[in-house]
Homo-oligomer: A and B are copies of this chain.
């Protein structure tokens, strides 16, 4: 994993990924007590940064391998990112999802051209089913974060932030990143190491699911005690990745954990002050910037708003609970 791979991924993504803006609002500056910049990656194709990693991985395959197709295990943003990336390459795509995944996620993934294969979470072994499918059809597995070309794709977000921050006159700031397995966080950190040494990536996570924060503090990989019970489902993973953790450990500042209510309040603030739609897991970095200001250093902060595929009921709840933001 090195900066050359991220720069090569950026070349391959050119003209295919959306160059998402770095947004500002004087209202957010006031709330946070410093200048706030929001990298609106919820505006990326399929509504999250996952399209970058999907495109990077699919485009890096040798043409014959790609033509046989790819497979991903996901019912969320990774599924949609890989599905659209594969379709835009004309490559077959299988997405393996638990049969109890929300109908709308199954439908949306199918609408993006993927073949959705369902398995019973209680009786089926996902890895075994997916492995057999992959072998039968010659499909390449695209892992969600612990995969060099996926990290390289997510890291292109960091190249853009480095350039956009410099244009805004910011060369020193904490950059808060919504963190699940660490693909986005570690990719961004590598981009900063090479191109913006004054920017420091820091993971933001939900309280109770702050495996990255605790792992960074302990200097070794720590697991989450459980996998359910957070509204930030998009970024709940058992633990940081074997590839991503050493990068985060070398380059990242300490993690910040936010409550579900803070994530909802950040959704409301992003709605009224930035006019973007965030999902809870995509709002934790902004929540950290707005509501944990004592844990942030410097006179400017950058928050990566990583995804916007929100359940409408959750979104309504955010607007109802925090109408004043």
Contact = CB atoms under 8 A, between A and B. Distances in A.
A312 B323 contact: yes
Interface stretch (A38-46, A132-140, A296-304): A38-46
Interface in A111-127: 111-112
Contact of A42 (B24, B168, B275, B308): B275
A20 B21 contact: yes
Given A275-B277, A277-B275, A319-B312, A21 B43 contact: yes
A308 B276 CA distance: 9
A43 B45 contact: no
A24 B17 CA distance: 10
Contacts of A19: 21
Copies of this protein in the assembly total: 2
Interface string A126-166: 00000000000000000000000000000000000000000
A104 to B, nearest CB: 9
Contacts of A308: 275
Closest 10 CB pairs of A and B: A275-B308, A275-B277, A42-B275, A312-B319, A47-B275, A18-B21, A271-B277, A21-B21, A21-B43, A43-B275
25 contacts: A15-B168, A18-B23, A18-B24, A20-B21, A21-B21, A25-B45, A26-B84, A26-B112, A27-B108, A30-B111, A43-B43, A43-B275, A43-B276, A47-B275, A271-B277, A272-B312, A275-B276, A275-B277, A275-B278, A275-B308, A276-B276, A276-B277, A312-B319, A312-B323, A316-B319
Interface of A: 15, 18-21, 23-27, 30, 40, 42-43, 45, 47, 84, 108, 111-112, 167-168, 271-272, 274-278, 308-309, 312, 315-316, 319, 323
